[in-house]
Amino acid sequence: MSGHSKWSTIKRKKGANDAARGKLFARLIKAIEAAAREGGADPDMNPTLATMVQKARDASVPKDNIARALDRAAGKDAGGANWETFTYEGYAPAGVAVYVVCLTDNKNRAAADVRTAFNKNGGNLAEPGAVGYLFARKGILRVPAEGVEEDDLLMAGLDAGIDTVERIDDSWEVTCEPGDLNGLRTALTDAGITVAEVDSPMLPSMQVPIDNLEDAQKVMRVLDALDDCDDVQEVFANHDFSDEVMEALA
């Protein structure tokens, strides 16, 4: 799980500037619209949509933007695209497996951009199924660690589907099945525990340790290039940067 956590840490730091925040907002709105079209525009009846809406709120997406996305998906407002999900698999340098999720209205454009991002940065696009078996979708909640003990989380969340608890820097990262994400958040919140962030990433079952800065920089070039593609919604990889490498990258 640390590969996801460290990549997320880097993305959060990058997301501080206005351009990155604008891109994040656009992705979250797109995800809300797609989830609402797929399973209905009522978050109470659509767990995937509820998670996307909560992620948008956590990222401070304006309420009006969220409401307009729901209205477009429900046909109450004109506009919006017919979003489709496509996944791509490949490798970054050092044998790191990469799983890419695109949400697009133009599959040919998305495929071309993903291929270019791999090829121009030392990676390579692989056949479907080449690395996908290494990843599985999980729910993650990030809880500020100050004043919160591991036992507090377990007591509050055990009956709500909590799987694991891990300390990552100044936060606890709590995992569960994706379908339990919203219920677990409610259970923790009801127990007086602050949940700073929710996510539902694809976590790797095995990781590639990287303690060489040059290799890490090569991996990051591929991940950054993919993350910059307009149609790319999520990027996951099974790298595990050492603490020394993380400090050097920061």
* Whether pLDDT at 16 is above 60: no
- The CATH T-level fold of domain 139-200 is Alpha-Beta Plaits (3.30.70)
Give the model's pLDDT for residue 168. 86
Give the model's pLDDT for residue 1. 47
Give 233's pLDDT tier (boundaries 50, 70, 90).
Answer: very high
The residue among 20, 229, 212 whose CA lies nearest residue 120 is: 229
The mean per-residue pLDDT over the stretch 5-9 comes to 57
Tell me what the pLDDT averaged over the chain comes to: 88
Q: 2-74, superfamily in CATH?
A: Integrase, N-terminal zinc-binding domain (1.10.10.200)
* Whether pLDDT at 250 is above 90: no
Handedness of CA 61, 63, 65, 71 (dihedral sign): positive
Backbone angles phi, psi at 83, to 5 degrees: -75, 140
Q: What one-letter code names the amino acid at 4?
A: H
The mean per-residue pLDDT over the stretch 164-191 comes to 92
* Whether pLDDT at 17 is above 70: no
CATH class for the region spanning 84-133+207-249: alpha beta
- CATH 3.30.70.980 domain range(s) in the chain: 84-133+207-249, 139-200
Give the model's pLDDT for residue 247. 86
Burial class of residue 188 (count of CB atoms within 10 Å of its CB; 0-12, 13-18, 19+): buried
pTM comes to 0.85
| Distance between CA atoms of residues 34 and 36, nearest Å | 5
Give 43's pLDDT tier (boundaries 50, 70, 90).
Answer: confident
